[in-house]
Amino acid sequence: MSVATGGIVAADLGRDRFGEALGVLTRGMRDNPVHVAAFGPDPERRRRALERLFGALFRIKVDQTPICAMRDETIVAATGVAPAGTCQPSGREAAAF
């Protein structure tokens, strides 16, 4: 799927671009006050923790559809869309974290 609007293209996120998407997600969420409270004052420590967390989500939540927004083939946003009722990890998925 690919939808373009205002120079931004929304598209499926291929596994080959997960690393790039993780970078966008971790940089964007690193200074969120919730993450500062959870992971402490060191920005690099928060970035690494979020990279592990989001990386695990991409690996474990295989029922989600990862999508991204791109401008000129550069990922500028990423998310995963989970089917209704599957947002919370199952017992097996939680154990895999």
Task: Determine the pLDDT at residue 84.
Answer: 84
| Structural domain total, the chain | 1
pLDDT of residue 60: 82
Domain that holds residue 31: 2-96
Helix ranges (H only) for 1-97 are 18-29, 33-39, 43-60, 91-96
Amino acid at 10: A
User: Consecutive 10-residue runs of the chain (97 residues): their mean pLDDT?
Assistant: 74 91 94 97 96 87 86 92 80 76
- 13 membership: H or E segment, kind and range: none
> What pLDDT was estimated at residue 38?
96
